[in-house]
Amino acid sequence: MRYLGTVEDNQHINLVMEYVAGGTLQSLYKSFDFSDKGIAKYTEEILLGLEYLHSNNIVHRDIKAANILVMDDGKCKLADFGSSRNSTAITDMHSFCGTPFWMAPEMVKQAGHNRFADIWSLGCTVYEMLMKRPPWKDRDTPVFQLFRRIASEGRPSYPPRISSELRDFLDCCFEYDRMQRANV
Protein backbone atom coordinates (compact mmCIF):
# COMPACT_ATOMS: atom_id res chain seq x y z
CA MET A 1 0.00 0.00 0.00
CA ARG A 2 1.11 3.51 -0.63
CA TYR A 3 1.95 5.68 2.36
CA LEU A 4 0.58 9.22 1.96
CA GLY A 5 1.62 10.90 5.21
CA THR A 6 0.95 11.25 8.93
CA VAL A 7 -1.37 13.23 11.13
CA GLU A 8 -0.13 13.70 14.68
CA ASP A 9 -1.71 15.04 17.87
CA ASN A 10 -0.77 14.83 21.57
CA GLN A 11 -1.94 11.22 21.90
CA HIS A 12 -1.73 9.61 18.47
CA ILE A 13 0.31 9.31 15.34
CA ASN A 14 -2.01 8.36 12.48
CA LEU A 15 -0.63 6.98 9.24
CA VAL A 16 -2.52 8.03 6.12
CA MET A 17 -2.56 5.28 3.48
CA GLU A 18 -4.17 5.05 0.06
CA TYR A 19 -7.83 4.06 0.00
CA VAL A 20 -8.55 0.53 -1.22
CA ALA A 21 -12.24 0.19 -2.05
CA GLY A 22 -12.51 -3.58 -2.49
CA GLY A 23 -11.90 -4.53 1.15
CA THR A 24 -9.86 -7.50 2.26
CA LEU A 25 -9.43 -10.83 0.55
CA GLN A 26 -10.93 -12.36 3.70
CA SER A 27 -14.15 -10.34 3.32
CA LEU A 28 -14.38 -11.47 -0.32
CA TYR A 29 -14.00 -15.20 0.33
CA LYS A 30 -16.58 -14.98 3.10
CA SER A 31 -19.05 -13.50 0.59
CA PHE A 32 -18.18 -15.51 -2.52
CA ASP A 33 -17.03 -19.00 -3.43
CA PHE A 34 -13.77 -18.81 -5.36
CA SER A 35 -13.13 -21.09 -8.31
CA ASP A 36 -9.63 -22.47 -8.87
CA LYS A 37 -9.25 -19.75 -11.51
CA GLY A 38 -10.20 -17.03 -8.99
CA ILE A 39 -7.83 -18.45 -6.38
CA ALA A 40 -5.06 -18.54 -9.00
CA LYS A 41 -5.68 -14.89 -9.95
CA TYR A 42 -5.46 -13.64 -6.36
CA THR A 43 -2.48 -15.91 -5.66
CA GLU A 44 -0.64 -14.45 -8.65
CA GLU A 45 -1.30 -10.95 -7.31
CA ILE A 46 0.03 -11.89 -3.86
CA LEU A 47 3.10 -13.49 -5.45
CA LEU A 48 3.85 -10.28 -7.34
CA GLY A 49 3.80 -8.39 -4.03
CA LEU A 50 5.99 -10.99 -2.33
CA GLU A 51 8.41 -10.96 -5.26
CA TYR A 52 8.82 -7.22 -4.83
CA LEU A 53 9.30 -7.48 -1.06
CA HIS A 54 11.73 -10.40 -1.21
CA SER A 55 13.79 -8.77 -3.98
CA ASN A 56 14.20 -5.85 -1.56
CA ASN A 57 15.13 -8.17 1.35
CA ILE A 58 11.84 -7.60 3.18
CA VAL A 59 10.05 -10.53 4.80
CA HIS A 60 6.39 -9.80 5.56
CA ARG A 61 5.90 -12.54 8.20
CA ASP A 62 2.11 -12.16 8.46
CA ILE A 63 0.65 -13.05 5.07
CA LYS A 64 -3.04 -13.93 5.41
CA ALA A 65 -6.28 -12.97 3.64
CA ALA A 66 -7.08 -10.30 6.24
CA ASN A 67 -3.81 -8.55 5.29
CA ILE A 68 -4.48 -8.58 1.54
CA LEU A 69 -6.47 -5.60 0.27
CA VAL A 70 -8.26 -5.88 -3.05
CA MET A 71 -8.66 -2.96 -5.44
CA ASP A 72 -11.81 -2.49 -7.55
CA ASP A 73 -9.97 -3.95 -10.55
CA GLY A 74 -9.03 -7.13 -8.63
CA LYS A 75 -5.39 -6.17 -8.07
CA CYS A 76 -4.11 -6.91 -4.57
CA LYS A 77 -2.11 -4.82 -2.14
CA LEU A 78 -0.20 -6.30 0.78
CA ALA A 79 -0.97 -4.56 4.06
CA ASP A 80 -0.05 -4.68 7.77
CA PHE A 81 3.71 -4.54 7.84
CA GLY A 82 3.84 -4.58 11.65
CA SER A 83 5.67 -7.92 11.67
CA SER A 84 7.80 -7.33 8.58
CA ARG A 85 11.55 -7.12 8.76
CA ASN A 86 14.46 -6.27 6.55
CA SER A 87 16.55 -9.37 6.07
CA THR A 88 19.37 -10.69 3.96
CA ALA A 89 19.27 -14.08 2.29
CA ILE A 90 21.99 -15.42 4.61
CA THR A 91 20.57 -14.18 7.89
CA ASP A 92 17.87 -16.11 9.74
CA MET A 93 15.42 -14.35 12.03
CA HIS A 94 14.48 -15.91 15.35
CA SER A 95 11.75 -13.61 16.63
CA PHE A 96 8.32 -15.10 17.28
CA CYS A 97 5.72 -13.14 15.33
CA GLY A 98 2.81 -13.46 12.95
CA THR A 99 -0.60 -15.06 13.36
CA PRO A 100 -0.64 -18.66 14.67
CA PHE A 101 -2.72 -20.41 11.97
CA TRP A 102 -0.48 -18.99 9.22
CA MET A 103 2.91 -19.53 10.89
CA ALA A 104 5.52 -21.77 9.27
CA PRO A 105 6.90 -24.70 11.30
CA GLU A 106 10.32 -23.08 11.62
CA MET A 107 8.69 -19.97 13.14
CA VAL A 108 6.68 -22.08 15.58
CA LYS A 109 9.80 -24.00 16.61
CA GLN A 110 11.84 -20.76 16.71
CA ALA A 111 14.45 -22.57 14.63
CA GLY A 112 15.23 -19.53 12.50
CA HIS A 113 13.24 -18.36 9.52
CA ASN A 114 13.63 -16.32 6.36
CA ARG A 115 11.58 -15.31 3.31
CA PHE A 116 10.40 -18.91 2.85
CA ALA A 117 8.14 -18.45 5.88
CA ASP A 118 6.10 -16.10 3.65
CA ILE A 119 5.69 -18.94 1.13
CA TRP A 120 4.26 -21.21 3.86
CA SER A 121 1.87 -18.41 4.86
CA LEU A 122 0.90 -17.97 1.20
CA GLY A 123 -0.04 -21.66 1.15
CA CYS A 124 -2.16 -21.08 4.26
CA THR A 125 -3.82 -18.12 2.52
CA VAL A 126 -4.60 -20.19 -0.58
CA TYR A 127 -6.02 -22.89 1.70
CA GLU A 128 -8.03 -20.18 3.45
CA MET A 129 -9.55 -19.00 0.12
CA LEU A 130 -10.40 -22.61 -0.75
CA MET A 131 -11.87 -23.67 2.59
CA LYS A 132 -13.12 -20.29 3.93
CA ARG A 133 -11.00 -20.81 7.04
CA PRO A 134 -7.28 -21.13 7.75
CA PRO A 135 -5.62 -24.55 8.06
CA TRP A 136 -6.04 -26.33 11.39
CA LYS A 137 -9.10 -24.21 12.25
CA ASP A 138 -11.30 -27.32 12.02
CA ARG A 139 -11.10 -27.89 15.75
CA ASP A 140 -11.33 -25.67 18.78
CA THR A 141 -7.67 -26.27 19.51
CA PRO A 142 -5.73 -24.41 22.21
CA VAL A 143 -2.81 -22.43 20.78
CA PHE A 144 -0.11 -24.68 22.28
CA GLN A 145 -1.72 -27.73 20.61
CA LEU A 146 -2.05 -25.80 17.35
CA PHE A 147 1.68 -25.05 17.47
CA ARG A 148 2.44 -28.71 18.15
CA ARG A 149 0.35 -29.73 15.13
CA ILE A 150 2.08 -27.23 12.82
CA ALA A 151 5.53 -28.19 14.09
CA SER A 152 4.96 -31.95 13.83
CA GLU A 153 2.34 -32.57 11.13
CA GLY A 154 3.68 -30.20 8.55
CA ARG A 155 1.13 -29.60 5.81
CA PRO A 156 -2.57 -29.58 6.60
CA SER A 157 -4.90 -32.14 5.07
CA TYR A 158 -6.53 -31.08 1.81
CA PRO A 159 -10.13 -31.62 0.83
CA PRO A 160 -10.58 -34.39 -1.75
CA ARG A 161 -12.32 -32.04 -4.21
CA ILE A 162 -9.28 -29.90 -5.13
CA SER A 163 -7.62 -30.09 -8.53
CA SER A 164 -4.26 -31.78 -8.95
CA GLU A 165 -2.74 -28.41 -9.98
CA LEU A 166 -3.91 -26.74 -6.79
CA ARG A 167 -2.71 -29.73 -4.73
CA ASP A 168 0.73 -29.49 -6.39
CA PHE A 169 0.92 -25.75 -5.69
CA LEU A 170 -0.02 -26.24 -2.03
CA ASP A 171 2.55 -29.04 -1.73
CA CYS A 172 5.24 -26.59 -2.92
CA CYS A 173 4.15 -24.03 -0.31
CA PHE A 174 3.80 -26.58 2.49
CA GLU A 175 7.19 -28.20 2.00
CA TYR A 176 8.24 -28.87 5.59
CA ASP A 177 11.96 -28.23 4.94
CA ARG A 178 12.02 -24.48 4.30
CA MET A 179 15.13 -24.74 2.13
CA GLN A 180 13.21 -27.09 -0.19
CA ARG A 181 10.15 -24.83 -0.23
CA ALA A 182 9.32 -23.03 -3.46
CA ASN A 183 10.53 -19.50 -4.01
CA VAL A 184 8.30 -16.76 -5.42
Q: Give catalytic residue positions.
A: 62
Q: Is the dihedral of CA 81, 146, 171, 24 positive or negative?
A: negative
Q: Find all residues with CB under 8 Å of 27, minimum gap 6, and list them.
A: none
**CA–CA distance, 3 with 5 (Å, rounded to integer):** 6
Q: For residue 158, what is the DSSP state?
A: P
Start-to-end CA span in the chain (Å): 19
3-class SS of residue 77: strand
**CA–CA distance, 103 with 98 (Å, rounded to integer):** 6
Q: Are 182 and 175 in contact (CB under 8 A)?
A: yes
